[in-house]
Structure 1
Amino acid sequence: MWTAVIAVVGTLLGSVATHFFQRQTSERTAALARAEQLRQERISAYSAFAGALVDYRRGQNDRWHRAYDSPGSAVAEEVRIDSYRLRSTAHQALIRVQLVCDDPQALALAAAAFDVTNCMHEAPDEADRAHRSEQARETLSEFIGAAAPGVR
C-alpha cells in the first residue's frame, strides 16, 4: 500500500516539476523571440531612417542649388516639390524610429538629424549650405553610433 502511495506522490511531483520547468522554458523562449523581433524591427527602422535622411539631404542640397542657380524656374519648382516628398518619407521613418527606440539620446539625435536636414534649403550662401549639409551628415552619424549598440 505505501509503495503505491509513494509511486502516486512521486508521479504527481514529477508532473508538477515537469510542468514548472516546461513553462519556464516556454516563457524564456517567448521572451527571446520577442527580443529578437524587436531587434530586427529596430534594425529595419534605423536603416530606413538613415536611408530616407540621406535621400532627403541630397534633395535639400539639390533644392538649394536649383533655387540658387535658377530661381523661379520650372526645374527649381520641380526639385522643391520633390523635397516635400523626401521630407515626408524621412518624417515617416523618424516616426517609426520613435516607436521602436527606447534610448533617449538616440531619439534626440534622430530628431536633431531630421531638423538640421529640414533647414538646409534656408542657407543664405554656399558656405552655409555646405556647413549645414555636413552638420546633417554628422548628426545622422551620431544617431547611428548611439542606436547601434541597441541592435547588436
Structure 2
Amino acid sequence: MDAALTAVVGTLLGVVATHWFQGRAAERTAALARTEQLRQERIAAYSTFAGEVVDYRRSQNERWFRGRLEPGSEEAEESRFASYRQRTTARQALFRVQLVCDDPDTRRLAESAFEITNSMHEAADDEERGRRSAEAKEALALFIAAAAPGVR
C-alpha cells in the first residue's frame, strides 16, 4: 500500500511540476511574441515617419522656391497645398511614433524634427532656407540615432 501511495503522490507532484513549467514557458513565449511585435511596429512607425519627414522637407523647399520665384502663381499655390497635404501625412506618422515609442527623449526628437521641418517655409532668404533645411535633416538624423537602439 505504501508503494502505491508513493507512486500516486509522485505522479501528482510530476503533473503539478509539469503544469507549472509549461505555464512559465507559455508566458515567456507570449512575452517574447509581444516584444517582437512591438519591435516590428516601432520599425514600421520610425521608418515611415523618417520617410514622411524627408518628403515634407522636400515639399517645404519646393514651396519656398515656388513662392519666391513665382509668387501668387498657380504653381506656387499648388506647392503650398502639396506641403499642407505632406504636413498632414508627416503629422500622422508622428502620432504613430508617439504611440509606440516609450522613450520621452526619442519622442521629443521626433517632434523636433517635425517642427523644424514645419517652419522651413518661413525662411526670409535662401541662406536661411538652406540653414533650416540642414537643421531639419540633422534633427531627423538625431531622431533616427536615438530610435535605432530600441529596435535592434
Q: CA deviation at 1:47?
A: 0.3
Residue 59 of structure 2 is matched in structure 1 by 59
- Could you list the runs of 5+ residues in structure 1 that have no partner in the other structure? none
Q: CA deviation at 1:6?
A: 0.3
Residue 14 of structure 2 is matched in structure 1 by 14
Residue 43 of structure 2 is matched in structure 1 by 43
Output aligned runs, 1:3-152, within 5 Å: 3-152=3-152
Matched to 1:134, the amino acid is: A
Counterparts of 2:20 and 2:130, CA distance in 1: 63
Segments ≥4 residues shifted beyond 4 Å: none
Matched to 2:60, the amino acid is: Q
> If the length of structure 1 is used for normalisation, what is the TM-score?
1.00
Aligned residues, how many?
152
Counterparts of 2:113 and 2:151, CA distance in 1: 20
- Could you list the runs of 5+ residues in structure 2 that have no partner in the other structure? none
Matched to 2:121, the amino acid is: H
> If the length of structure 2 is used for normalisation, what is the TM-score?
1.00
Counterparts of 2:57 and 2:120, CA distance in 1: 8
Q: Deviations over 1:18-53 (max 9, x none)?
A: 000000000000000000000000000000000000
Q: Deviations over 1:108-129 (max 9, x none)?
A: 0000000000000000000000
Task: Please state whether the residue corresponding to 2:102 is helix, strand or coil.
Answer: coil
